[in-house]
Structure 1
């Protein structure tokens, strides 16, 4: 029997039972154990962005130029892209839990190695593997979160968790203030300690994460329904005890043709053939947010020091980061109430328009006013960017979820996230050599604005109304049984709708 062959058929009500659960302390365990990793990502990116001067000094740092700082950012993103694809397919094959433990271990190890960098080459390699761990986390964590969080809360939770990146960003920015103060600590050790503290935080998260269960949805599709049933019963008992409420019964069920693995060709066919509109949607969202964030944030510290003479950028970046987190936290519930399509359009187009206006008037800003304008722009953008991950994780069949997240993250980030830091680094370098002002980097703002507005327009026409709906109704599992009454109004989704904002699809190869 080949690995991908059918192993059995079951009818299960596990998805409906998970979706009908009230919010409880158990769900907070999932959020803390899985979601806090974005704090690490924010810490990583901010440390690099804030420490451009420390890393540039050949005596206390590694002698990196502005272009090298951009290269380091691009290398980190390249590692994240490759790590997402590599670990993403393993997540769909071997399970969410195994991979979200492995990817965190990869991140931790690489971060420690970064702290011990002796030269630029070592530093670049360590940054690559740090990115690989984070990229794998995006695939494993987002898929696990969406499969464990009830449908009613999925939008706000996913957006807020992805937005928690900015908690780490704010913490990292403030952390660099004492670590980069020569009166507090030797500058040859400050930046190294910053990376080391990130590794310590990762170990703490790993200890919490061990208590998060495997996704029952993944288990029943891969022939381990008894394990999935046991986990759901345990979750139900825990939630019932915590809330003091009797859980209502459910009537919805789904019949599954179990398989040990799902082939890569079948996944590719699903993404490109069965869901072409959703493919375009996710690509547009990821390219826009990747260029905007990686270009702007990776080099913002360098921008402030080079053009505005700011010596300590930590305070500026901390304020900027707080506004980003507040955007995801405050606007996140609106993705469940107002809806995915409207909120994606508003956040992408709104932030893109403001960014373009900022590019036109760059010469008129001071460090304070530019940061405040950035706060307004990214208050909107952070919620939209976080929702891009939510979109990729919920609009494709369960068997492909982790790899789809990885695929769009990798492709979108490669297009926007690698080019962005390199472009901004080059623009800053050229402006410095030519004695030009900050307006020399306006091109990067214009490109980011165009990509964000384009993403918002695509969302308006091709977005999926997924709010409050089960994952199985948004995109039918590839292994789900078809039945004649499905098309007669049972609520089971049909093939991808002719209208891009149609609420549901069935993974049936008829188009």
Structure 2
């Protein structure tokens, strides 16, 4: 008789799957909107408040301090309290804090609120990707998680639109932009009551009847796409007790040490290069002589290239596999970073920025698809959260490192460094196991 996990793995993509993906994805998009907005607010406050480069750097970094702590804490809580509960709580925390930050009257006050925002935001991302991964059929699990990650581009695009219209609209525009962050607080109620709890989590807690009920709901849901005769997922031959015991091992035990070190390296590198570039691009354009409106408009155009990057990654993770797709997009990001550093005209800057968006966000999609697959259920969210939390250290350092790097060697030196970091991440990806089409470990 098939287990509950095998029954989930063998399902087609149903209406219940689409609701789970849309519900989680909307929260993901709201997260991205908040992170993206700070890059435009940094540029605006530099002009309106006369902030120094150091002060702007801290405004860009402080949220990632909270995200580093939140990612680790969120993963631990999700493995103990449940994915859905923590997801709703994190949306509530960062939504309220974002709305409150619109009332800031000083840089210090704004920094405090941005730290709290980071706590909620950092905790939400590993929880959402774990929840979607645990419900997705094995045949299309990677593609489904990349589509979830693609909601990040939607949110960043919304941030770019708000930046180019609301933030650039006047001296108080940044306040109105942050006030929109209250939306996630309202959405938290929908998340809490509208999404199912992870079946794998429920089984680990001995809640077999509730897990059975949820699986039956997914089995009864109408299929949206045909199965196309995919092979059945691999059978789990180990007894459940052995799997749970394995899950209690440290992430640095012999069974997981190699993948953990490689995964943490990739998360650190991709965070450093991505946030170092995209948090600062509007401000770098402004300092290069472009107007506030021009800087925000250029960034909006570059952001549009994120969506096709995700689309390509979503297709390739099930054709090439996660590891190969990740490596190719990381090498593409490195080449694009060199191109951006050399660009010296408006058309070249926009083209290079679009290529960097395409490859970088495609790499993010593949990484999010792979990360939850590397650990068993008992430590899946913790493992993902720890990797993301370690990566957030780089997102703290990157915005602080940009001003001295630009002062030392200009934009060219900065983006050459980003290219080298992308190459290191690509090399580390070959140390990870390939999990395409493999059933998640119990």
In structure 1, distance between residues paired with 2:20 and 2:304: 23
Higher relative contact order (CA 8 A, sep 6+): 2
Per-residue displacement from partner, 1:1-42 (whole Å, max 9, x unpaired)?
xxxxxxxxxx97011111111112211111111122221232
Q: CA deviation at 1:208?
A: 5.0
Residue of structure 2 equivalent to 1:282: 263
In structure 2, distance between residues paired with 1:282 and 1:64: 36
In structure 1, distance between residues paired with 2:47 and 2:245: 50
Residue of structure 1 equivalent to 2:382: 403
Work out whether residues 233 and 437 of structure 2, in 8 Å CA contact, stay in contact via their aligned partners in 1.
no
Give the structure with higher Rg (CA): 1
Residue of structure 2 equivalent to 1:131: 118
Q: CA deviation at 1:315?
A: 1.7
Residue of structure 1 equivalent to 2:309: 327
In structure 2, distance between residues paired with 1:210 and 1:412: 31
In structure 2, distance between residues paired with 1:243 and 1:169: 29
Task: Return the match for 1:18 from 3, 8, 15.
Answer: 8
Residue of structure 2 equivalent to 1:232: 215
In structure 1, distance between residues paired with 2:353 and 2:426: 19
Matched, 1:291 2:275: no
Matched, 1:31 2:21: yes
Q: Which SS does the other structure have where 2:378 is aligned?
A: helix
In structure 2, distance between residues paired with 1:409 and 1:145: 17
How many equivalent residue pairs? 438
Unaligned runs of 5+ in 2: none
Cα 1:374–1:262 shift into 2, 3 Å:
farther
Work out whether residues 423 and 444 of structure 1, in 8 Å CA contact, stay in contact via their aligned partners in 2.
no
Task: Return the match for 1:311 from 288, 292, 309.
Answer: 292
Q: CA deviation at 1:356?
A: 2.9
Higher helix share: 2
Residue of structure 1 equivalent to 2:435: 466
Unaligned runs of 5+ in 1: 1-10, 432-438, 478-511
In structure 2, distance between residues paired with 1:181 and 1:252: 56
Work out whether residues 76 and 131 of structure 1, in 8 Å CA contact, stay in contact via their aligned partners in 2.
yes
Q: Which SS does the other structure have where 1:471 is aligned?
A: coil
Work out whether residues 143 and 369 of structure 2, in 8 Å CA contact, stay in contact via their aligned partners in 1.
no
Work out whether residues 349 and 454 of structure 1, in 8 Å CA contact, stay in contact via their aligned partners in 2.
no
Per-residue displacement from partner, 1:339-364 (whole Å, max 9, x unpaired)?
112211211122113313443x25xx
Scaled by the length of structure 2, the TM-score of the pair is 0.91
Q: CA deviation at 1:45?
A: 2.3
Scaled by the length of structure 1, the TM-score of the pair is 0.80
Task: Return the match for 1:223 from 170, 188, 206.
Answer: 206
In structure 1, distance between residues paired with 2:37 and 2:226: 44
Matched, 1:342 2:324: yes
Residue of structure 2 equivalent to 1:498: none
Per-residue displacement from partner, 1:433-486 (whole Å, max 9, x unpaired)?
xxxxxx6133321221111111112223x13221111112xxxx4xxxxxxxxx
In structure 2, distance between residues paired with 1:251 and 1:280: 26
Q: Which SS does the other structure have where 1:64 is aligned?
A: coil
Residue of structure 1 equivalent to 2:392: 413
Work out whether residues 10 and 137 of structure 2, in 8 Å CA contact, stay in contact via their aligned partners in 1.
yes
Which structure 2 residues correspond to residues 8-407 of structure 1 after superposition, within 5 A?
13-57=3-47, 62-182=49-169, 186-188=170-172, 190-204=173-187, 206-208=189-191, 210-239=193-222, 252=235, 255-257=239-241, 266-267=248-249, 269-312=250-293, 313-359=295-341, 361-362=342-343, 365-407=344-386
Work out whether residues 295 and 421 of structure 1, in 8 Å CA contact, stay in contact via their aligned partners in 2.
yes
**RMSD of aligned alpha carbons:** 2.7
Residue of structure 2 equivalent to 1:443: 413
